[in-house]
Amino acid sequence: MNFYIIIPAHNEASSIGLTLDSLVKQTHKPKCVVVVNDNSTDDTQEIVESYSIKHTWIRLVNSKSSNEHLPGSKIINAFYKGYETLDEYYDVICKFDADLIFPSNYLEQLTLHFNKNKTLGMAAGFCYIEKNNDWVLENLTRKDHIRGALKAYKKDCFLQIGKLKPSMGWDTVDELLAKFYGWELKTDASLHVKHLKPTGIDYNKASKYLQGEAMYKMRYGFIITLISALKLAYKKGSTSLFKDYIAGYFRAKKNKIAFLVSDEEGQFIRNLRWKGMLNKLR
C-alpha cells in the first residue's frame, strides 16, 4: 500500500528531524514524504534537506505565505503546495504535522486496517503529550475523531469528500463528509503518537473567532453550535473561548460567509450531531 505523506512546516527546526526520524524507521516505509517549508526563518529547510539527501523518497518544497498563524487555511494551503507535486499513484494520502513522533509500526498497522475494511476511509492513532515527565493522552482526543495532526485518507475517500477545505474546521468537516458518503473511520488506541506541541499553542487573537465561524460554515445551526462551543471551551478550560466561538458564529452569519457543505450535506451533519449527543445522554 503506497503512502504519500505531506507535512506542512513553519519554523519546526526543533521537531521536524524527530518526525522524519520516526518515518524513516517505519516497518512499512512511505512511498513519498513531502515537507512543505512554509516561510520558515529557522533551520527547517536545512534539516529537511539533510534528510532528502539520504532518502530519495523525502522531498522539500519551499513556499511563501504570511507569518500570521491562521488555523485551517494556512496549513491546508501549504498542504496543497505539496499535493501539487505528487503523482496519482497513491493508495493512502496523509497530512501530518511537523511535531509528531510515530511508533515504528504506525504505517504497517494502518495498512492492516485499510486492507481489512474496504469501507474504511480514514484511520489514525492517538496523540500523547508530555506532562510532568510522562506521556499522557491529549485531552482533545476522542475515539470517534481523527485529529488534524495525523490524518490518513484512503484515496477514493479523499477524492470523494472533495479533498481538504482551506478553512478552520477542515479536520471536522472531512469526517462528516466521509460519513455522508458511507465511509467509516478508525482510531487505533494502541498507536501512541507523541505530539510535541499541544494543539492550539500558537493560536493568536486574530484567529479566536474562527472556530465559531467554522461551525456556521458546517451548517450546524445555533443550538448545535451552542452545545459544541460549550463542550470545546470546557475541554480547553476557558470560558472566554466560549464567548469567542459564539461571536464568531454570529459574525459569519451576519457577513453571510460561504458554507463548506451543501444543504443536503448540512442536513445530514445536523442529524448526525443530534444523534451523537442524544446517544451520549442515554
Q: Could you tell me the domains of the chain?
A: 3-195 (3.90.550.10), 208-281 (no CATH)
pLDDT of residue 235: 82
Mean pLDDT to the nearest integer, 98-118: 98
Q: Which of 92-101, 193-202, 226-235, 243-252 has the lowest mean pLDDT?
A: 193-202
Residue 225 has pLDDT above 80, yes or no: yes
Alpha carbon distance 169, 257 (integer Å): 14
pLDDT of residue 31: 98
Give, rounded to a whole angstrom, the gap between the first and last alpha carbons of the chain: 40
Mean pLDDT to the nearest integer, 218-226: 96
* Lookup: cell for 265: 450535506
Higher pLDDT, residue 59 or 279 = 59
Q: Decide: 197 and 99 in contact? Cβ < 8 Å.
A: yes
Mean pLDDT to the nearest integer, 226-248: 90
Higher pLDDT, residue 106 or 202 = 106
Average pLDDT, the chain: 92
68 confidence band (pLDDT: 50, 70, 90): low
Residue 202 has pLDDT above 60, yes or no: no
DSSP letters for 84-140:
TT--S--SEEEEE-TTEE--TTHHHHHHHHHHH-TTEEEEEEEEEEEETTEEEE-TT
Helices of type H across the chain: 16-24, 44-54, 73-83, 106-116, 155-160, 170-180, 210-217, 222-236, 239-255, 263-281
Higher pLDDT, residue 186 or 204 = 186
Bridge partners, 131 (sequence order): 134
142 confidence band (pLDDT: 50, 70, 90): confident
Q: Which of 143-147, 222-226, 245-249 has the lowest mean pLDDT?
A: 143-147
Alpha carbon distance 196, 75 (integer Å): 17
pLDDT of residue 66: 59
173 confidence band (pLDDT: 50, 70, 90): very high
Q: Decide: 170 and 164 in contact? Cβ < 8 Å.
A: yes
pLDDT of residue 276: 87
pLDDT of residue 100: 98
pLDDT of residue 144: 86
Alpha carbon distance 127, 191 (integer Å): 9
Alpha carbon distance 120, 184 (integer Å): 5
Residue 201 has pLDDT above 70, yes or no: no
DSSP letters for 189-211:
EEEEEEESS-TTTT--GGGTTHH
pLDDT of residue 232: 86
Pick the closest to residue 78 from 46, 35, 48, 42 (CA basis). 35
Q: Which of the listed ranges 63-72, 170-179, 236-245 does the model predict with the highest average pLDDT?
A: 170-179
